[in-house]
Chain A
Amino acid sequence: ETGVTQTPRHLVMGMTNKKSLKCEQHLGHNAMYWYKQSAKKPLELMFVYSLEERVENNSVPSRFSPECPNSSHLFLHLHTLQPEDSALYLCASSQDRPTGGNTEAFFGQGTRLTVV
C-alpha cells in the first residue's frame, strides 16, 4: 500500500451509534489532518496533528474525537452524530511541520459518512 489509505470508504450510522474512521499513511510524514467536505461548502479543516500532538482543533463539536497513536495512524471517533454531520471525511498527511507553508498535503480517498 502506498499513499494515504482511509477505511471504511462508506459508512452509514444511526444517531446513537459509535463508530471510528481510520486513516493510515505510508509516506513517512509526521503531520496528519482531518477535513470535512460537505456539499456546496468549502473543505473544512477539523483537526491537525504534528508529531502525534494535536496542534489545531477548529472548533469541532465534541461528538468528533480524534486520536493519533503514532505518526502513521489517525482515527476519528464518532458518537451521537446528527444528520447534518453527513459528509465526506478526508484524511491528509504532510512532511515536516503541518503544511510548513509550502509543503503540500497528500489526501486519502475519503470516507463517505451518512448519519440516519
Chain B
Amino acid sequence: AQSVTQLGSHVSVSEGALVLLRCNYSSSVPPYLFWYVQYPNQGLQLLLKYTSAATLVKGINGFEAEFKKSETSFHLTKPSAHMSDAAEYFCAVSNQAGTALIFGKGTTLSVSS
C-alpha cells in the first residue's frame, strides 16, 4: 500500500537559512508525489509534484524537491527561508488505484527573524 512518512512534526529555522523538510514514501508502483502547503485557516495549496519527468522538481515560492528512488525520498528544500514560509507542509502520494492522494502527518515550519 502507498504511504508517506514525514520526519519531524516541527522544524524551526531562521530567516535566510536553508529549509529542509523530509518525506519518505512507500509505494508498490512508480509513485506520483506531491508537496502541499497549508496556511492557518486555509485549505491546501500545491507547491510541486513529481510525475517521473524529472527527478528535480521546481515549485512555487522558490521551493524544490528531489526524487531519489534509491532512498525512497522526496525531500522539500528552499535555499533561503522567508517569514512568509511559516506554515504546515504536507507530503502526499497517489494511492495505488490512482483515485486519491494519501497524505503524511504534516510538518509545521516556523521561521524566526
Contacts and interface: CB of A to CB of B under 8 A. Distances in A.
Interface stretch (B14-22, B40-48, B77-85): B40-48
Interface string A73-105: 000000000000000001010000111111011
Given A41-B105, A42-B106, A48-B99, A101 B44 contact: no
Interface of B: 32, 34, 36, 41-46, 49, 51, 90, 94-95, 97-106
B49 to A, nearest CB: 6
| Nearest 9 Cβ contacts at the A-B interface | A107-B43, A102-B51, A43-B103, A101-B98, A107-B44, A98-B99, A109-B43, A102-B32, A104-B46
A110 B43 contact: yes
Given A48-B99, A48-B100, A101 B94 contact: yes
A52 to B, nearest CB: 15
Contacts of A107: 36, 43-45
A99 B105 contact: no
